[in-house]
Amino acid sequence: MAASSSACGPGSDAAAQRATAPRPPPSAAVVAPTAATPAAAPRDEDLLYLEEVNGERALAFAKAHDAVSEKELTSAPGFRALEERLFRIYSSKDRIPAPSVQHDVVRNFWTDADHPRGLWRQTTFADYRKAAPTWTTLIDVDALGKAEGESFVYHGSSCLPPLRKKCLVRLSRGGGDAEIVREYDVEKKAFVAGGFVLPEAKSRVAWKDENTVFVGTDFGPGSLTKSGYPRIAKEWKRGTPLASASTVFEAKESDVSGGCYRDFSHDQKRDVCYRSIDFEHSEQHLFRGGKLVRIDKPEDADVDLWDDEILLRLRSEWTVGTPRATYPKGALLAAKLEPFLRGERTFQVLFMPTLRSSLADFAGTKTRLYVNALTDVKNEVTVFARRPGDASPKRWVGTPLDTKVASIGVVPFEADRSDDVWLWLEDFAVPTSLALRAAAAKKEEVIKQNPAFFDATGVQVTQHFATSKDGTKIPYFEVAKGARSAPAPTILDAYGGFEISITPHYAASAGAAWLERGGVYVQANLRGGGEYGPAWHEAAMKEKRQNAYDDMAAVAEDLVRRGVTTPKQLGIVGASNGGLLTSVMLTQRPEMFGAVVSKVPLTDMRRYHQLLAGASWMSEFGNPDDPKEWEAIAKYSPLHNVRRDAKYPPMFFTTSTKDDRVHPAHARKMVAKLEALGHQPLYYENIEGGHGGAADIKQRAYVDALVYTFFATRLGLPLAAR
């Protein structure tokens, strides 16, 4: 898919003639109303059966609608060719194998046509540098699932420093957030008999030493937060039953989650416990002398420990210290840890935000910090090093990285042993490159590069700014072939939430499915995201949420004003919070769009906080049980703003039965209510996939082909590639 983010919380279009589509049979518990027999608008309680994830009626609803959507979209000329094209891209053996340097080896998780669920594998660094490395397979996920009769999806591993030979491997059944954890011995290439094993749950587990882990999981009643995540951290010894693990830390039931881990960086062994109060607020504690010592910092400040330093990223202005100093929201501060714990508040500012720039992230290596900023949604990196022997507040010296590309991702080569970093470099029409920057030589070497997955001849990338309802300038990128004599079918993609920044990326699927055929792809950077720092996020939180929707409308209007497209040719797509965005646009501004796609969306904002992880998002959207806050939410809640007399554009909702983050009932309910009021949305529910909507690259290619086909046939783009 193009790049719809899919994360509710701090995360990638297509079509046919909707009016002639067959409707779900009565067995789906839904009958489309007709002009002669109008149906009453369903009450919220009438739709509760759709919250039963695997309930008989709910699954019948999903299967009946899947049959309708699949029959219509897969029969469109060019669908199969597009699906195959996307699968070739996703499974290409010429893709960059993302490296993770683990002591003396490079590890990688890899999927291709022969291994759609993937291989966890390793090789030497010298071999990795070759065009065709020789890999040693550690786990074949497809084979493992077949042997055990499970639909496993690999969710990663955590390996014990410094040798990283013992690993905790996370496996999901079908792609949901809940995982099985098993200990794996890399040298023996086998799971450890009698090793650490956790049953399926949304667990948190981290190494303390070779024979001890910190674990948070579902220990029974009272052990989870209202959001469904662990709140209790226990210390679990090898060879003992999980039930005997001793509690070391507890968060509150109202928190998002809590847990503990050991910080091994720079040969440290610091034990840290944390409360994630919500997505913006947290507490951190250090174990000192057998006691928990709280790190005294603003609750909304992010904290990192690096070597003997503490790093704080502020979300609100902070006045502190003697003499008093005021630091702005969005700043990155550095201080020596021990003096800070004693109460000193003397900082060096490593990043100072401006109206046009914000902190994207930072990464620590052996002796350096790489600070990655966004200026008008384009990355700029500064490398900081400490003056030898200097412990003063001015000890850090920064040098800008002279790399000119829109998107730069910085990943330490091996943080504890090297100052080298991997640089991931890309732009919308520039295939991704992986360069190794040698810190000592201060130069970069391209190690791997993706092929061009689509013909970008004539494709231009331009940035524009729309004016929102309150006068705020909203940036957006336009990607299209340069010479156009008339408005063109356009896909507008956005997210706008949880302080997540959506940056330029190589649009392989959008290029192959859309740009090559003369379509326009647009990525908008709405308020609610993090593109301009905490204030940009705060401008669309809770009662200010409408700002994000006004921003989206402003971009759509600007595209029409500039002659890029017309309302009938403009489609919008978003996933998760972005799916909420597009669902709101459907109900608020239906006249502006020719097609709407909402993927794994939120739609029922009256009950979102009672469904799966929804309680963890109340700091973002507000509390529907508070009458004042519900008054603001009710004005945009898609499910509660669907109207019988509205003229809605063609719409397509997708979700996954296995999504245990955003409940599939959100999409189910929206579709059911639309149909009851006489509208005809398309709906596809993938049985697997989790919050990403697909469990493997085959499913991903299929779902993406459905969406792009929906857009193409609704917006008037030829399905045959040019």
Residue-wise pLDDT tens digits, 396-445: 999 999 988 999 999 999 999 999 999 999 999 999 999 999 998 888 99
Average pLDDT of the segment spanning 71-100: 97
Count CA atoms within 13 Å of residue 421 on its CB side.
Answer: 25
Minimum mean pLDDT range among 6-20, 118-132, 211-225, 257-271: 6-20
pLDDT at 229 over 70: yes
pLDDT value of position 718? 85
Coil, strand or helix at 662:
coil
Beta bridge partners of 399: 383
Q: Are 535 and 356 in contact (CB under 8 A)?
A: no
Report the C-alpha gap between 170 and 159 in whole angstroms.
11
Catalytic residue from among 357, 576, 598, 637? 576
Q: Judge whether 691 counts as a catalytic residue.
A: yes
- The two structure tokens encoding residue 685: 């529910």
Q: Are 525 and 5 in contact (CB under 8 A)?
A: no
Residue 337 has pLDDT above 80, yes or no: yes
Q: Which pLDDT score, from 0 to 100, does residue 430 have?
A: 95
State the average pLDDT over residues 474-496.
Answer: 95
Lowest-pLDDT choice from 16-20, 229-233, 309-313, 320-324: 16-20
Q: Which of 537, 663, 679, 691 is an active site residue?
A: 691
Count CB-CB contacts under 10 A for residue 623.
15
DSSP3 helix / strand / coil % (the chain, rounded to 5): 25, 35, 40
The predicted pLDDT at position 441 comes to 82
Banded pLDDT at 40 (limits 50, 70, 90): confident
End-to-end CA distance of the chain: 19
Q: How many other C-beta atoms lie within 10 A of the C-beta of residue 656?
A: 30
Integer angstrom CA distances of residue 227 from 9, 18, 173, 188, 311: 12, 38, 20, 38, 28
State both tokens at 332: 């990155």
Q: Is 28's pLDDT higher than 80?
A: no
* pLDDT for 720: 58
Q: State residue 249's pLDDT score.
A: 97
pLDDT at residue 8 is higher than 90: no
Element (H, E) at 703: helix 697-715
The share of the chain scoring above pLDDT 70, in percent, equals 94
Comparing CA positions, the residue from 293, 300, 297, 260 lying closest to residue 278 is: 300
Instruction: Please determine, for residue 102, whether its predicted confidence score (pLDDT) is greater than 60.
Output: yes
| Whole-number pLDDT of residue 35 | 35
Q: Is the pLDDT of residue 14 over 50?
A: no
pLDDT given for residue 19 in this prediction:
26
What average pLDDT is seen over the chain? 93
Residue 111 pLDDT > 80: yes
Is the pLDDT at 27 greater than 90? The verdict is no
Mean pLDDT across 608-633? 97
Per the annotation, the verdict on 223 as an active-site residue is no
Tell me if 590 sits within 8 A of 565, measured CB to CB.
Answer: no
Average pLDDT over residues 461-477: 98
Give me the half-sphere count of Cα atoms (radius 13 Å) on the Cβ side of residue 167: 25
Sequence-distant (6+) residues with CB within 8 A of 43 are none
The reported pLDDT for the residue numbered 38 is: 52
Backbone angles phi, psi at 320, to 5 degrees: -160, 165
Q: What is the mean pLDDT of residues 157-186?
A: 97
Which tokens belong to 135?
């890999």
